[in-house]
Amino acid sequence: MTSLHTSRVRRRRLGAAAAAVGVLAALLTAQPAVATPDPGDTPRVAEDVSRAEQAEVEKSIKSGEIPGSGEIDMSKNMRHLSNTPKGAILGTNSDLAFQGKYAFAGNYDGFVIYDISRPKSPKIVSQVLCPGSQNDISVTGDLLILSVDSSRSDDTCHSASGPPDEKDSWEGVRVFDISDKTKPRYVSAVETACGSHTHTLVPDRKNVYVYVSSYFPDESFPDCQPPHDGISIVKVPKKSPQKAELVRFEGLFPDGGFPGNPDRPEKVETTGCHDITSYPKFKIAAGACMGDGIVMDISRPDRPKVVERVRDEENFAFWHSATFSNDGRKVVFTDELGGGGGAMCNEETGSEKGANGIYHLKGKGKKTELSFQNYFKISRHQADTENCVSHNGSLIPVEGRDIMVQSWYQGGVSVWDFTDSNKPEEIGWFERGPESTTGLTFGGSWSAYWYNGHIYSNDQNGFDVLELKDRRTDGAKKVRLDEFNAQTQPHIRH
């Protein structure tokens, strides 16, 4: 665990210019994972910015308007309890899942299991080398599921990168037995069309259904042919996970979905879904599907049906993820403008692009309706060297209020209240200074979730634990969950 220098800084509005089979003590050497990020390849090497932009970043740091590289800024109600640097798994940190006293952290090179029984000093329990982006991660009972959205030579954890235009290449979902957290055991794999960028668990008695989100088909890819207008559905028997199988491909867009806009290349054509959040309590799911936002009836988990669809022709570029309010009457959709690699939190981009969209949800079945209310975006403008856009978050279980914690890459971790849908406001935050002052560099928090009284963030600088001390969220500290996957939303009974 390391401690970082903390800098309390003033803020102003930045101008447009600144604007991985087995677990080993010593991990085996493997081929690097090939990243298949969201639209717009996430930059692994700093991209040049103009001298004027560089000068503006340096000026803002020197004047205390933004934190410097390696420094931390946070609101007065936020505490940084710990940071656990990356161990032997050194790839890009991705999503998080939780169970009991453990946190499970995805990484493009595998996954890490942390003991978080003492939030001030998390301990690494095991590290699994199993390359394949994004290694989006979920847990249920003794099972852990990973998404692989990069072509591999085979389905093993020793695979190498494989070309997507070869039929024998593999991508899809991997299933592990985590009954022994110190020795996760790889038990099965299922290949899915276009791989698995993300996935969503929908429990159903003896089985768990996995909704597989993937996109970007190509006629040259044998296992990813257009049209790709839906999701793959995998069934995993809870007591026989080695029998996991693909049960169907469910078309969601009979009309092909949003066709894109030649005059607005940032607005991505719908060729599948990016992420889906199920809400088993109400037998519904919300899908963020590139150019479309949808609501599905999942009363039959193996046959989800779209009951409502919306678009935002003006501002949303890439519908990325969704979160329900606890009562299921609101949905927050996120827009990942620029694919997570762009500097989209500067003044030039504005407050309505790369933001969250708040929708009200009314009716059931065929009478379901979504109505747009407002946008929310962090107002703390970031530098042009910082990738920043709305990303993964979850509800904070506060009775009578709608409050979320959310990642914004180098925009850090934000806590915001949308109880009044028309007047959302940020009530807390944590962030680091720019990874670079001379070029646009990928970094920051990928996922930030509330779990049993604390905020956990999978940042490229390591695994962060935060504590929020605020009367508006204190009630949430009483809520205890046995398991948490953000994409399988639990209903909180207060």
What is the full DSSP assignment across 35-58?
A: P--SSSPPPSSPEE--HHHHHHHH
3-state secondary structure of 476: helix
Per-residue model confidence as pLDDT tens digits over 165-216: 999 999 999 999 999 999 999 999 999 999 999 999 999 999 999 999 999 9
Phi, psi (5° rounding) for residue 217?
-70, 165
* Neighbouring residues of 98: CB distance < 8 A, sequence distance ≥ 6: 104, 116, 139, 449, 451, 452, 456, 481, 483, 484, 485
CA angle 350–354–357, rounded 5-degree value: 100
Q: Of 41-50, 112-121, 250-259, 450-459, which gets the smallest average pLDDT?
A: 41-50
Per-residue model confidence as pLDDT tens digits over 13-27: 343 333 333 333 334
Per-residue model confidence as pLDDT tens digits over 55-100: 888 877 877 778 888 899 999 999 999 999 999 999 999 999 999 9
> What is the pLDDT of the chain when averaged over all its residues?
91
Overall average pLDDT of the 34-39 stretch: 36
Q: How confident is the model at residue 44 (pLDDT cuts 50, 70, 90)?
A: low
Question: Which pLDDT belongs to residue 188?
Answer: 98
Please say if the pLDDT value at position 368 is more than 50: yes
Cα 144 to Cα 159: distance, rounded to the nearest angstrom: 19
Please say if the pLDDT value at position 10 is more than 50: no
Predicted model pTM: 0.92
Q: How confident is the model at residue 28 (pLDDT cuts 50, 70, 90)?
A: very low
Closest CA to 105 of 88, 120, 118: 88
Question: Which pLDDT belongs to residue 350?
Answer: 96
Please say if the pLDDT value at position 340 is more than 90: yes
Question: Which pLDDT belongs to residue 45?
Answer: 56
* Neighbouring residues of 311: CB distance < 8 A, sequence distance ≥ 6: 258, 291, 292, 293
Question: Which pLDDT belongs to residue 16?
Answer: 37
* Neighbouring residues of 401: CB distance < 8 A, sequence distance ≥ 6: 417, 419, 472
Cα 98 to Cα 324: distance, rounded to the nearest angstrom: 19
3-state secondary structure of 236: strand
Q: How confident is the model at residue 46 (pLDDT cuts 50, 70, 90)?
A: low
Q: Is residue 225 a contact partner of residue 217, using CB atoms and an 8 Å limit?
A: yes
Q: Which domains does the chain have, with CATH numbers?
A: 47-484 (2.130.10.10)
Measured in residues, the chain has a length of 494
Per-residue model confidence as pLDDT tens digits over 225-259: 999 999 999 999 999 999 999 999 999 999 999 99
Percent of the chain with pLDDT over 90: 85
Per-residue model confidence as pLDDT tens digits over 461-473: 999 999 999 999 9
Cα 401 to Cα 297: distance, rounded to the nearest angstrom: 25
